[in-house]
Amino acid sequence: MKSIVTAKRCGWVSMENPLMVEYHDREWGVPVHDDRRHFEFLVLEAAQAGLSWSIVLKKREGYRRAFSEFDPAKVARYTEKRIQKLTLDPGIIRNRMKIESAVRNARAFLAVQEEFGSFDAYCWQFVDGRQKLNRWNTTRQIPATSHESDTFSKDLKSRRFSFVGSTVVYAHMQAVGMVNDHLVDCFRYREVRRLHSAKERAGLADTAAPARRPRTAKRG
């Protein structure tokens, strides 16, 4: 069996960055069906805008502490005083617009849960409840957006989410396994595909994709 150290990985992974390696090897592309994890990635991906993912990963624990373990119900109740305090927190990216966005998005997140039962049920509809399996040979082939992320982004904006442009949303789709964008020669490509297949057999994909569709989502 090939050593995990010498295993082939996606080209964007630096072996000199343990956090990036850990994220790639254990999380990226793995299907997520937990609302708190969805909210975590929404917060972190918005924080990344204009920055590198490695910076965000370094501050991940700081974000976990600052944003109540990524509990959207708690974050939705953050006051102006709490927001101001967070702008002074060195454990996170101290961008007031991004902090305010996290609070605003928490409130919108709760509204989606109220309407659809869970954010997970809502978001997986944009890929019909099934992971989109791509077959990329090089990092250059991986797109920054897709038709699905365009539609998803538009719907999120209509629900008053912010920092949810199509590029950010596509990153979310990659992170939570709505798409498998591991390169075909990456050791995680087949592992992630098997994980999704196993969850489908367990009925999780069906649970994540009820017949009801988002109010503005249209498919070609």
Q: Domain extents for the chain?
A: 18-208
Q: Evaluate if residue 198 carries a pLDDT over 80.
A: no
**pLDDT classification of 205: cutoffs 50, 70, 90:** very low
Count Cα neighbours of 46 within 13 Å in the Cβ-side half-sphere: 25
172 CA to centre of own chain: 3
Known catalytic residues? 23, 45, 53
Per-residue pLDDT reduced to its tens digit, 70-91: 999 999 999 999 999 999 999 9
The single-letter code of the amino acid at 175 is: A
Q: How far apart are the first and last CA of the chain?
A: 43
Mean pLDDT throughout 95-121? 98
DSSP 3-state of 200? helix
Q: pTM for the complete prediction?
A: 0.87
Largest Cα–Cα separation, the chain: 54
Q: Evaluate if residue 197 carries a pLDDT over 80.
A: no
| CA-to-CA separations, 39 to 114, 154, 162, 187, in angstroms, rounded | 15, 18, 13, 28
The share of the chain scoring above pLDDT 70, in percent, equals: 88
Q: Evaluate if residue 180 carries a pLDDT over 50.
A: yes
Q: Evaluate if residue 111 carries a pLDDT over 50.
A: yes
**Is the domain 18-208 a CATH 1.10.340.30 member?**
yes
Q: What is the pLDDT of residue 5?
A: 63
Q: Evaluate if residue 214 carries a pLDDT over 70.
A: no
Q: What is the pLDDT of residue 42?
A: 97
Q: Give the integer Cα–Cα distance in Å for 31 and 180.
A: 9
